[in-house]
């Protein structure tokens, strides 16, 4: 498939496409940005190979698609506060963000999207999985969809599993102004502001319970949803190389970096783009 002089190569039936024929380090004209954005909305996550994006160029690229924001827990690169290093070192056993999640759903206004570029990758392993939350919602029974449409989820940055994935980086790069915990309430099913499609918006990394319910009361349904959303037919898998970039829609896609490369170093740089309040 071609669009505006670049190739779109779907990676899986549910989500994801590789884009060929675009040099993201060059100035992108408005027509190209608009065409890439349409492809992004269609496929939820776009992948690019062999991109030369040092921090300044990376930030310039991100600004063509949105407003970069700082991550609330870790310091960014020197001189580039909006670029967060995502690192696992050779001696570490737990990776950053290593579970299915939507980025920073514990914020009142979570990011619209995320760009992640690979700097150093292990010789094998370290892939990232992505899942389509439109399909996760649409495949549920009509009765369960009606129930979920009326529920609100409580999301916390202090949920135990996701806190553990931050520990190594907080020891050496914590922000001085970060809070101990961020909590936000969002609809369990959100309507995408651009496509108007409904997407499941709970995740195992941050969602603790339903509003007006206890964690114990919420657990059976949340556990079902967490297992449901990672069904293989909703997903794709991306293998990184140095210079690879992924750009995903945080409003309708979840991701999970696979932690299968102990003994090797993996270094990525991440930018998140300002979003809107889920509705």
As annotated, the active-site residues are: 101, 103, 255, 270
- In the three-class reduction of DSSP (H, G, I as helix; E, B as strand; rest coil), residue 5 is classed as coil
Token digits for 127? 């892939």
Residues 257 and 222: their CA atoms lie apart, in Å, by 21
| C-alpha torsion sign, points 216, 104, 151, 221 | negative
Q: Please, are residues 96 and 164 in contact by the beta-carbon 8 Å criterion?
A: no
Residues 115 and 130: their CA atoms lie apart, in Å, by 13
What φ, ψ does residue 239 adopt, rounded to 5°? -100, 125
* Cβ atoms within 10 Å, residue 123: 7
Residues 245 and 237: their CA atoms lie apart, in Å, by 14
């Amino acid at each position: 498939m071609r669009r505006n002089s670049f190739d779109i190569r779907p990676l899986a039936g549910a989500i994801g496409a590789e884009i060929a024929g675009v040099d993201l380090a060059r100035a992108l004209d408005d027509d190209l940005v608009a065409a890439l954005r349409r492809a992004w909305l269609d496929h939820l996550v776009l992948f690019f190979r062999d991109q030369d994006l040092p921090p300044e160029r990376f930030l310039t690229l991100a600004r063509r698609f949105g407003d970069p924001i700082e991550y609330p827990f870790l310091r960014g690169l020197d001189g580039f506060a909006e670029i967060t290093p995502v690192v696992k070192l050779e001696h570490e056993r737990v990776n950053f963000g290593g579970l299915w999640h939507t980025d920073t759903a514990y914020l009142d206004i979570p990011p619209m999207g995320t760009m992640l570029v690979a700097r150093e990758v292990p010789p094998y392993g370290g892939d990232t999985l992505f899942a389509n939350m439109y399909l996760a919602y649409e495949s549920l029974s009509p009765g369960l969809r009606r129930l979920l449409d009326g529920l609100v989820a409580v999301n916390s940055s202090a949920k135990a599993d996701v806190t553990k994935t931050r520990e190594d980086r907080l020891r050496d790069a914590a922000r001085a102004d970060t809070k101990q915990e961020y909590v936000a309430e969002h609809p369990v099913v959100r309507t995408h502001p651009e496509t108007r499609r409904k997407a499941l918006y709970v995740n195992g990394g941050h969602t603790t319970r339903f509003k007006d319910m206890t964690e114990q009361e919420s657990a059976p349904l949340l556990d079902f949803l967490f297992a449901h959303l990672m069904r293989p037919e909703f997903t794709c898998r991306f293998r990184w190389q140095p210079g690879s970039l992924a750009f995903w829609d945080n409003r309708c896609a979840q991701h999970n970096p696979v932690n299968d490369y102990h003994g090797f170093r993996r270094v990525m740089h991440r930018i998140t783009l300002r979003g809107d309040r889920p509705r």
